[in-house]
Amino acid sequence: MTNPSLPTLPLFTLAGYFLAEGGAPKRLVRAFYALFGQFRGGPAIVTVLVCALFTSFTGASGVTILALGGLLMPVLLGARYSESDSLGLLTGSGSLGLLLPPCLPLIVYAIVANVPIKQMFLGGIIPAVVMMTATAMWGVQRGSASGGAVRQFEWQEARTAMWDVKWELATPVVASIALFSGIATPVEAAAVTAFYAFLTAAVFHRDLSILRDAPRVMVECGLLIGGVLLILGVSLGFTNYLVDAEVPTYAVAWTTQHIHSPILFLLLLNLFLLVVGCLMEIYPAIVVEVPLLVPLGLAYHIDPVRLGIIFLANMELGYLTPPIGLNLLMSSYRFKKSVPEVLRSVWPVVMVMILGVLLITYIPALTTALPRLFGY
């Protein structure tokens, strides 16, 4: 149950917590609104971009809704979006960053499936853009229908906002250079990213006190990652039992005997994962289901990285489906709405995201192009 990549989990998550606990959310919202707020539907683009970037570092879409909901809801309502559309867009956008590096589920999948973390990070970028674009287009369309006033673009405000958020925007660049340049291992790259996020929050912006706030943030991060590691450890033990009992071998033999078409297999896989997402949290789902699904994917000549992105894209939908859908519960709590009301609001976004999942499923190049380009 040991793995040399395990330290990347707390380190990348700690980087996200340092950014989340500082003033990064407000600076990101201000910067993206300055750039895109002048477009019809611009607030929807801002919501998608900020939520996806924030989730990619915190690894928890529920945290995104709690941290950004109070900032973005007035922006959407001020642009004359209906309360239902605003609620649906915020709830749906919270899970979009799960496919963007260095999000926690990407690392957990890589560890469980024994896939290089670099390949998972590269494989998730284009599918994440697909999901974000589809959701933003829906938001732009709803913004056009609302007939909200279009604000003037202000160069001075844009320059000031971008300058204020430069350290946060450089965080993915720092992580990517450390990870893909070959000068650092994934664990070292995670450590560099965490240290850079600490400098950003505690030194460059001075949002956090080094002696008072930094230890508190590390404890809060430890509470989250400790739970994940407990789940991971116990579930990997269960996985080892399944392998010893040859359960994946029997599953492959039965499935290939009854399902001959890879296209049909992928369709049934998506339906199965939708059910899994409705009933299980993302981390238990990864560590329990992935050891069974990877051999099945190989039997149908499906690359493990592609299979992983399909899996996680479906888990994004799981955040929005009852009874376990975390985003539904978080939005209900944050905006003081009933869960059925939140579900009705987010349903159009779910349909758009289902279309994105189908594109990711049946267009392999969306997932495999970047890993091949970088020689993986």
DSSP one-letter string for 17-54? HHHHHTTHHHHHHHHHHHHHTTSTTHHHHHHHHHHHHH
Per-residue pLDDT tens for 63-104?
A: 788 778 888 998 888 888 999 999 999 999 988 989 998 888
Tokens of 359: 């594109």
What confidence score (pLDDT) does residue 150 get?
61
Q: How far apart are CA 82 and CA 87, in angstroms?
A: 9
Asked if residue 3 is part of any domain, the answer here is no
pTM score of the predicted model:
0.87
* Domain extent for 261: 8-373
Q: Running DSSP on this structure, what letter comes out for residue 158?
A: H
Query: Is 89 within the bounds of a domain?
Result: yes
| 84 inside domain | yes
- Residue 2 forms part of a structural domain: no
pLDDT digits 0-9 by tens, 274-313: 888 887 878 888 888 898 899 999 999 999 999 999 999 9
Has residue 328 been placed in a domain? yes
Residue 44 lies in a domain: yes
In this prediction, residue 265 carries a pLDDT of 93
Q: Which of 330, 358, 338 is closest to 93 using CA atoms? A: 330
The neighbour count for residue 329, using CB atoms within 10 Å, is 17
Q: Are 59 and 17 in contact (CB under 8 A)?
A: no
**1 within domain boundaries:** no
In a domain, 215, yes or no: yes
Q: How many domains does the chain have?
A: 1
* Closest among 91, 8, 43, 4 to 319, alpha carbons compared: 91
Q: How confident is the model at residue 148 (pLDDT cuts 50, 70, 90)?
A: low
Supply 174's token pair: 């720092």
